[in-house]
Structure 1
Amino acid sequence: MKLTKMSLVAALLIGSSAFALDNVQMSGNANLYYQTSDAASGYDQHKGRTSGDIFSKDSSAADIAVNLNITADLYANDLVSISGGAGYTVLTTLGLENNLVSNVVGGAHTATVGTGAQFGAPGGGAKVEDASWMNEAWIAATAGKTTAKLGRMALDTPLAYTETWTAEQNTFEAAIVVNQDIPNTTLVGGYIGNGNGTETFGQNAQSNVQTLNLASAPVVNGNGNFATYGTNGAYVAGVVNNSYAPLTAQAWYYDVVKVATAYWLQADLDASSLGVKGLTLGAQYCGMDSAATGSKTDTVYALKAGYAMKDMFAASVAYSATNDNGTLGYAGFNTATATGTAQSKLYTEAWWNYGYVTRQDTQAYNVTVTSPVNGLFDLGLYYTYADQAKATGPNDLKEFTATAGKSYGPLDLTLAYINADYGKVKPSSNTVQVYATVNF
């Protein structure tokens, strides 16, 4: 819910402004993340990551994330309106490390490595430090049907976006313009200068926690630090159209300066208009070109069919395939986070093990079924199979995930079980996760 009382932050903003703020709104959430797995591990300075039993300390990770956001209308007249927003994140273990768990979830933590035992090793180790950073700080101006937004912000485009599935969320420093003068059409253009994602697409990852292999689901650089996106930033342009109401079509182009260019095409159809109530169809196509001389394009396409009965269930099947001779070795991944483990917006993306369906020469399949269970909880069943033909040795993925979720007012609870088979590359694993979120 939105707070009705003015916060100290808002009061300070008003005190430092030459004009009063209107429509001040605050929102946020507090999140608990816990994970345990028979494939997870602690860390030994001689052996590296070590396996353990499920629910044991060295096989478990935990984190607490608190996010606070504020937006306000700053100025308005007959021609233009101006608004602003800011957000702050705190990521803490609450001292659980070296106690109940031996790993963290987020990559924004830092830790000092001594000459003796490292974090998570027998006898205790380094203290993992809490992390906090300003995740958003932006100003936006709207004139007519055009809005320009400048500053630090979350983004949601097919190949550069804020990942929201873990304890931390990456954001960007960018300038974005959105126009809707053309009926049923949204035009987007902008420049992305910096990001705090753990990207390796044109630069090295910034989080030393990843180097220590302590973070089970890293997305953000150490201490939330921002670094140049790619090597010299990126330009993005997109168009989204639904002139034919049941069909949403979109096209995007990216120029990651001196690194790569890419494009994304997608069409999603509500086939109810064709006389098949509850049926949906979708198609995606992506191409990515390295800036290297003589490079070859990496491509991926995906198809999806879904069917839903209101208040009963929703089900979908999807297929995707990447080509076998691209230079980058991946296609369709989120360029804002680490290439090999980046999430993607492909219909076939796994529930937990990202980075498989986007690999070169991979055919992937996904089946998803969700259903409310007698009003008790929401059940989700997800299966992904990724067959990578050109891997050095078997490197396939078979992942089955079952989730049960329930909301109690502002409290959201989710329990997840994940079984993953990685072929002969590494042992199969069983993982249990608990997510608890309080929204305010």
Structure 2
Amino acid sequence: MKFTKLSLVAALLAGSSVFAIDNIKVSGDANVFYSTTDAKAGFAAVTDKDDLFGKDNSAADIGLNFNISADLAKNDIVTLSAGAGYTILTTLGLENNFVSNVWGSAHTATVNSGSNYASAIGGAKVENASWMNELWVAATVGNTTAKLGRMALDTPIAFTETWTIEKNTFEAAVLINQDIPNTTLVGAYVGNSNGTNAGSINFSETTILGDSAGLAVGGVVNANGEFATLGKSGAYAIAAINNSFKPLTAQAWYYNLPNYAKAYWLQADLACEKVPGLMLGAQYTSGKVGEGDNSGTYAVMAGYEMKDVATVKVAYSQTSDKGALHGQNIVGSGQSKLYTEAWWNYGYVTATDTTAYNVTVEGAAAGADLGLYYTYADQDKGAGPSDMTEVTLTAGKSFGPLDATLAYVYTDLGKTGGVDADATNTVQAYLTVNF
């Protein structure tokens, strides 16, 4: 897709007489996501149907993302840049027609009679949502960059999730310095987030659906994309990332949410030179919420990349039997960056007192990208949701600007409350047009 006119934000930037606007980049994507399951609980635990592809067991959404960045000033001393992003989330009227559920929790929904979701099946009015997901300025002087505003973040336990049709972002000030050879130093203050549990973080929760009628299957954003204070008074983070020994990348992160929680994350990833393709990794994270117990979680990974054939990884993790911080994202769905994280069912490998295993195989055949993902989470004391087994198969292919992916997810939650849960099947389709 080519733009014949500048977007509104670009026009506003170009209209400034103070800066010489240069290197304007406009991009975006349009997404159509669909998911259906034969789970009798459906998406909101109110229907006893197990009808794969049935309306009440299916969800769909359409998302549009527009992004722009530009250099506002550039000379021998400083480079000043800015960026903005906007998201539109709409069902195009699919609810109560083709599906009864949506993907994103940024939607609000009106239930026709009372607040009982049972009456919403085939009867909820879902509103469209739109919000500014990014709006930032950045200045680079020498090897130091300062970035201020609304932005995506990629840190171990406070990060933007990109697996669903909406993305959670943050209002933050970030400072990055690379004066020390082979070392990146990071300092950040994160004040707000539009992640679904920002402002009311409960680290015992594992899945947050967000919207008022419980219609969302992949919710990570507050209603209408609204931002709230992270924790009680924001969060501070400092980090050092080093690869002085070229095959090894080591990183250490420390987080402080004043009067609320503290956590740190250590990780080392090695690409073996003597055995090309061999990958090894180790992670450890610990934290404490208020006056609660300290937690501890560790994970290890070994993998091998056969160039132009396939990449295979195996991983193991263990969470402690105390504490509530086990590596999950502090806002969003509860997804984690642990090597053992599941493809679809988040919150299980990071539950208290859980042993988890993961096998990932990715490769290509007949021009398609193929993936096989196996995750098993075993809860020793049943402190969280339940045991979980997940097997996912994916196949994806690009057709010019169009990316298409099909996924099949088999889920067995074992026993919940002493009762065996039926295994379920989920089928999903992802279509993305990049421009």
Fold shared, TM-score > 0.5 on shorter chain: yes
1:7 Cα offset (Å): 3.4
| CA–CA distance in structure 2, aligned partners of residues 40 and 410 of structure 1 | 37
Counterpart Cα distance in 2 of 1:201 and 1:310: 45
Residue of structure 1 aligned with 2:337, choices 323, 342, 345? 345
Q: Alpha-carbon deviations, 1:52-89, whole Å to 9, x = none?
A: 31100000000001000000111123211110000000
Quote the residue 1:218 is aligned against: 219
The answer as to whether partners of 1:247 and 1:270 remain within 8 angstroms in 2 is yes
1:289 counterpart = 2:281: no
Find the counterpart in structure 2 of residue 389 from structure 1: 380
SS in 1 for 2:281: strand
RMSD, aligned α-carbons: 2.2
Q: Are 2:199 and 2:228, in contact at CA under 8 Å, matched by a contact in 1?
A: no
Taking the aligned partners of 1:40 and 1:96, their CA distance within structure 2 comes to 22
Aligned to 1:11: 11
CA distance in 1, matches of 2:129, 2:384: 39
- 2:254 partner amino acid: Y
Question: How many angstroms does 1:296 deviate by?
Answer: 1.8
Counterpart of 2:101 (choices 93, 100, 103) is: 103
SS across alignment from 2:211:
helix
Residues 325-383 of structure 1: per-residue CA shift (max 9 Å, x gap): 22x2x40110122xxx51000000000000000111100000011111132x1110000
- Report whether the alignment pairs 1:80 with 2:78: yes
Contact 1:102/1:120 (8 A) holds in 2: no
1:322 aligns with 2:319: yes
8 Å contact from structure 1 (residues 151, 175) kept in 2? yes
Opposite residue 23 of structure 2, the aligned amino acid is N
Per-residue CA distance 1:299-331 (angstroms, 9 max, x = gap): 1000000011111111010000011122x2x40
Task: Name the structure 2 match of 1:402.
Answer: 393
Residues 433, 27 of structure 1: CA spacing in aligned structure 2 closer, same or farther, 3 A cutoff? same
| Matching of residue 380 in structure 1 with residue 371 in structure 2 | yes
Report the residue type matching 2:306 in the other structure.
M
Q: In the alignment, is the contact (CA less than 8 A) between 2:9 and 2:84 conserved in 1?
A: no
Residue in structure 1 matching 2:410, options 405, 412, 419: 419
The total of aligned residue pairs comes to 427
Determine if contact 1:34/1:433 at 8 Å carries over to the other structure.
yes
Q: Which consecutive segments of 4 or more residues in structure 1 shift more than 3 A?
A: 1-9, 40-44, 47-52, 116-124, 200-205, 207-211
Identity of aligned residues (%): 61
- State yes or no: 1:366 paired with 2:358: yes
Q: Matched residues in 2 for 1:54 and 1:231: separation?
A: 42
- The verdict on how the C-alpha distance between 1:123 and 1:309 changes in structure 2, with shifts beyond 3 A counting, is closer
Superposition TM-score, scaled by structure 1 size: 0.92
TM-score (norm 2): 0.93
Letter in 2 for 1:371: G
Amino acid at match of 1:54: L
Structure 2: stretches of 5+ with no match in the other structure: none
Partners of 1:196 and 1:50 in 2: how far apart? Answer: 33
Residues 278 and 303 of structure 2 are in contact (CA less than 8 Å); yes or no, is this contact kept in structure 1?
A: yes
CA deviation profile, 1:165-221 (whole Å, cap 9, x unmatched): 00100000000000000011000001000000012685479x995342210111000
Give the distance between the partners of 2:286 and 2:104, measured in 1 at CA. 30
Q: 1:113 to 1:408 in 2, by over 3 A?
A: same
SS in 1 for 2:164: coil
Give me the whole-angstrom Cα distance separating, in 2, the residues matched to 1:116 and 1:334. Answer: 33
